[in-house]
Amino acid sequence: MQITVIGTGYVGLVVGACLAETGNDVIGADTDATKIENLHRNILPIYEPGLDDYVERNQSHGRLTFTTDIPQAIAAAEVIFIAVGTPPDEDGSADLRHVLAVAEQIGRHASREIVVVTKSTVPVGTAAKVEEVISQHARWPVHVCSNPEFLKEGAAVEDFMRPDRVVLGVSTDHARSVLAELYAPFLRTGKPILFMDVASAELTKYAANAMLAARISFMNEIANLCERVGANVDLVRKGIGSDSRIGAAFLFPGPGYGGSCFPKDVKALVRTSRACGAPLGVLEAVEAANERQKRRLFEKLGGALGDSLNGSRVAVWGLAFKPQTDDMRESPALILIDQLLEAGASVVAHDPVAIPEGRRRLGDRVAFAETSYAALEGADALVIVTDWNEYRHPDLKRIKTMLKRPIVVDGRNLYDPAKMRSLGFTYLSIGRSEG
């Protein structure tokens, strides 16, 4: 098929590259000329494992091209994916200006009967708005559908190529037929393709992310309770995760969720629910709990350093909100670093891939170390924010000799508290009484 993906950010680039990998001819269109020029040279705007190989291979084979000529890309398409940004407004609702601007261009420049798929995360009712805008200008039948993405940053290529399920909101037989054919190569292992009405598909994305966010905040609250009553959250997690009705995923405590999806989607769903007169009090509590949790690492470090926090030097391991990505949007590290700087501390940070993004966001307010151990030189304490693999089994004795004071605040519970105590560390973790 001839596919056009409008928007070459995180979602659009993954979608385009993966569809090209299965033999489709894909055009990635974007108004950012610098981004498109870099993509022509296989320079990606994001870090995502495996994506660079897909982009380079499919460009070299002619299946994947990039352009700033959006009208031409629209005219060439049988199927158009809208994958532009939907940033939150000040009230938390999704900003649909970019989506609707693309819809207008589709209406003006479509040259045949087409299927238009909203891939951006958008609130219920967006597809209807897109269809209304397109219909004001369209000369050909246009079938507007919803196909929410469920891509985990750090595993997005694998998630697209081998999805748990594909959710498709359609309203016509033509759209159903086209999208069933398009997605057939990805579902050969028998995973389901779930056709439903458009509104249900739009809500499914928000509901899924809200459920996962709720599990994270719930477990963080349980972890905080564990510290108060002398329980071990690792054991509690295993105890409840072994229940088949609950399962083990997303029950690891930490410094709060971040990234481009959970914070934005929870806010947007809360805003939608209020506007509809059906407020989601549970999600409002989830959001509040997450904001509190992002400040727990600073509280723990402040308790360990006391009055000497002002003027101290703190090493921070991990800037990205999760491993295998350079995404720092809503990262707990940003909250921690702001708190440390406001308290008069200096910060030296390390991250395996997110240092360029850290420099862009933080400038010269923070020092950056090229290796994890280099960040420890002269530091009074270490705080671990992101659970990158290279932080899981470091030389603990070396860490102790490099730190001026043997203080480790572990926001990911990577180390054994008893072992850390035996080595002479002041070790503070999340939800474990030993720390």
Catalytic residues: 261
Taking residue 7's Cβ as centre, other Cβ atoms within 10 Å add up to 25
Q: How far is CA 278 from CA 269, 271, 272, in A?
A: 11, 10, 9
What is the distance between the alpha carbons of residues 413 and 238, in angstroms, rounded to a whole number?
14
Sheet containing strand 407-410, strands side by side: 367-368, 346-350, 313-317, 381-384, 407-410, 426-428
Q: Which residue has the tokens 């609707």?
A: 100
What is the distance between the alpha carbons of residues 283 and 315, in angstroms, rounded to a whole number?
33
Q: Which residue has the tokens 């020029």?
A: 37
Candidates 15, 55, 3; CA nearest to 163 is 15
Pairing status of strand 193-196 against strand 313-317: unpaired
Q: Three-state SS across the chain?
A: CEEEEECCCHHHHHHHHHHHHCCCEEEEECCCHHHHHHHHCCCCCCCCCCHHHHHHHHHHCCCEEEECCHHHHHHCCCEEEECCCCCECCCCCECCHHHHHHHHHHHHHCCCCEEEEECCCCCCCHHHHHHHHHHCCCCCCEEEEECCCCCCCCCHHHHHHCCCCEEEECCCHHHHHHHHHHHHHHCCCCCCEEEECHHHHHHHHHHHHHHHHHHHHHHHHHHHHHHHHCCEHHHHHHHHHCCCCCCCCCCCCCCCCCCCCHHHHHHHHHHHHHHCCCCCHHHHHHHHHHHHHCCHHHHHHHHHHHHHHCCCEEEEECCCCCCCCCCCCCCHHHHHHHHHHHCCCEEEEECCCCHHHHHHHHHHHCEECCCCCHHHCCCCEEEECCCCHHHCCCCHHHHHHHCCCCEEEECCCCCCHHHHHHCCCEEECCCECCC
